[in-house]
Amino acid sequence: MPLILAAVVAAFIGSRAGFGWKDLQVSIVSSISISMPAILILMAIGILIGTWVASGIVPLMIFYGLKILSPGFFLVATCLICSVVSFATGSSWSTAGTVGVALIGIGQALGLPLPMVAGAIVSGAYFGDKLSPLSDTTNLAPAVAGAELFDHIKHMLFTTVPSMIITLTLYAILGARISGEAASLESVATLSQTLDSLFNLTPWLLLAPGLVLLLIVLRIPALPALLAGGFAGGILGVVTQGISFSSIFSIMQAGFVSETGVSQIDELLTRGGIDSMMWTISLILCAMAYGGIMEGTGMLTTISNYILKFATSTGRLVATTILTCLGMNILAPDQYLSIIVPGRMYKKAFEDSGLAAKNLSRCIEDAGTLSSPLIPWNTCGATMMAFLLVNPLAYLPFAFLNLINPIISLIYGFTGWTMAKRDAPSNPDQ
């Protein structure tokens, strides 16, 4: 409701500035259209989570995870696992919606604080996404800034790798401190035995996750790859668990409901379905309507132009870019807009300062990509909340990579470290 109220106020201000209703409506629809691929992916992952729980795929991952992962090392392992998967797939959303769901279940079974687990998942998912040449944002940022893709990725290593080293160190320290709060070995063993008795936990169930990873690595678009994984999960549910086809389709729509009477199991496994994504989708639609009015009426440009007046040095220019990306994620509020709008607006300012375009592309990824999952009403924040069932404001203090990376980028801006200079044009008149 605050987003709807904000959209109404923005529309009123826009109308007073001379924009008619048709102009405002076009801005709203155009902004919402940007989020439609994300909404379709959300629905596909809702199907996937439902069938993967019902067929035993998620319970199998939890079962194996309880055998392998120790509480003290769990946060580090979670971050590393999500990093590898997201780098291979180029998608933080696919990572959080698949292995992230299993890892949050394992963390819950181990008795670990879920905001910490969710923070580790988000940190790892966005580390791999940010550096993967398969990622849409990794391709978008240099395209907007005018940099080469692999120059952009190499330049990001200067800020991202130190951030990840600090992040893993903090997770190791945190894991050592909370390991004593974890569930007892006896309760973990009981939970594992219960899962084993409820489902036929055959390794053949891993065919569905393997299929999704293979399709994404083969550059099959995320939507058909995730739908294929969801339907593969449904088929495996029929074959391995004896679920009827009609029940599978009901699970795709409404999700899987666990009714074992064991509260811990029921809480772990009552997940998924298209219906479970509808609140998140409504939040995205309201947020994008508000962001569309803000951009379409020029309010965001006015705010950014005012801020640009203070960018009188390299450090201040980097700070202005990072703050604008953060502001776009809060006000627009979409990850793509937080990359496109600042990249478009500050491109000339970086050129005039004699800075290479890869500095700008790095800044907008350091801030735009990484701050998006920390805001509950942002498309990324709302999506992470739907997958992990933890509010972004709760996991924000533990998403160490997302917090540290922009700070290191700021330090580099003010010290001049790794701030590459722009090559002189070959034509003196250019």
Q: Give the 3-state secondary structure percentages of the chain, helix then strand then coil, rounded to 5.
A: 80, 0, 20
**139 closest CA partner among 405, 318, 343, 421:** 343
- Spans of all domains in the chain: 34-276, 279-415
The predicted pLDDT at position 429 comes to 46
The predicted pLDDT at position 78 comes to 93
- Reading the block at residue 205, the tokens are 């169930």
Span 388-399, average pLDDT: 95
Cα–Cα distance between 319 and 322 in angstroms, integer? Answer: 5
CB atoms closer than 10 angstroms to residue 4: 12
Q: Which of the four pLDDT bands, split at 50, 70 and 90, describes residue 430?
A: very low
Q: Which of the four pLDDT bands, split at 50, 70 and 90, describes residue 182?
A: low
Q: Which residue has the tokens 């309507």?
A: 289
Strand partners, 271: 256
Average predicted confidence (pLDDT) for the chain: 89
Cα–Cα distance between 330 and 337 in angstroms, integer? Answer: 11
Over 90: is that where the pLDDT of 264 sits?
A: no
Over 80: is that where the pLDDT of 207 sits?
A: yes
Taking the alpha carbons of 283, 372, 390, 87 in that order, is the dihedral positive or negative?
Answer: positive
- Cβ atoms of 359 and 368 within 8 Å: the answer is no
Q: Which of the four pLDDT bands, split at 50, 70 and 90, describes residue 428?
A: very low
pLDDT tens-digit readout, 277-286: 898 889 888 8
The predicted pLDDT at position 164 comes to 97
Over 70: is that where the pLDDT of 184 sits?
A: no
- Give Cβ neighbours of residue 263 (< 8 Å, ≥ 6 apart): none
**221 closest CA partner among 44, 30, 31, 34:** 44
pLDDT tens-digit readout, 8-50: 999 999 999 999 999 999 999 998 888 888 888 889 989 999 9
pLDDT tens-digit readout, 305-314: 787 778 778 9
Percent of the chain at pLDDT > 90 equals 51
- Cβ atoms of 382 and 337 within 8 Å: the answer is no
The predicted pLDDT at position 223 comes to 87
Over 60: is that where the pLDDT of 260 sits?
A: yes
More confident residue, 119 or 70: 119
DSSP assignments along 14-59, one per residue: HHHTT--HHHHHHHHHHHHHHHHHHHHHHHHHHHHHHHHHHTTHHH
- Reading the block at residue 280, the tokens are 């998140």
Q: What is the pTM of this model?
A: 0.81
Over 70: is that where the pLDDT of 92 sits?
A: yes
Q: Tell me: cis bond preceding 333? Omega within 30 of 0 counts.
A: yes
Cα–Cα distance between 380 and 397 in angstroms, integer? Answer: 17
Q: What are phi and psi of 376, to 5 degrees?
A: -60, -35
Over 50: is that where the pLDDT of 392 sits?
A: yes
If phi over 0 gives left and psi between -120 and 50 gives alpha, with beta otherwise, what is residue 321? alpha
**198 closest CA partner among 151, 145, 262, 252:** 262
Cα–Cα distance between 268 and 318 in angstroms, integer? Answer: 43
Q: Is 135 exposed, middle or buried (0-12, 13-18, 19+ CB in 10 A)?
A: buried
The predicted pLDDT at position 181 comes to 65
Cα–Cα distance between 55 and 234 in angstroms, integer? Answer: 7
**55 closest CA partner among 219, 244, 188:** 244
Q: Which of the four pLDDT bands, split at 50, 70 and 90, describes residue 350?
A: very high
Span 290-310, average pLDDT: 83
pLDDT tens-digit readout, 113-145: 999 999 999 999 999 999 988 788 898 899 889
Residues in the chain: 430
DSSP assignments along 210-222, one per residue: HHHHHHHHTT--H
Cα–Cα distance between 336 and 287 in angstroms, integer? Answer: 13
Strand partners, 217: none
Q: What are phi and psi of 356, to 5 degrees?
A: -65, 150
The predicted pLDDT at position 365 comes to 95
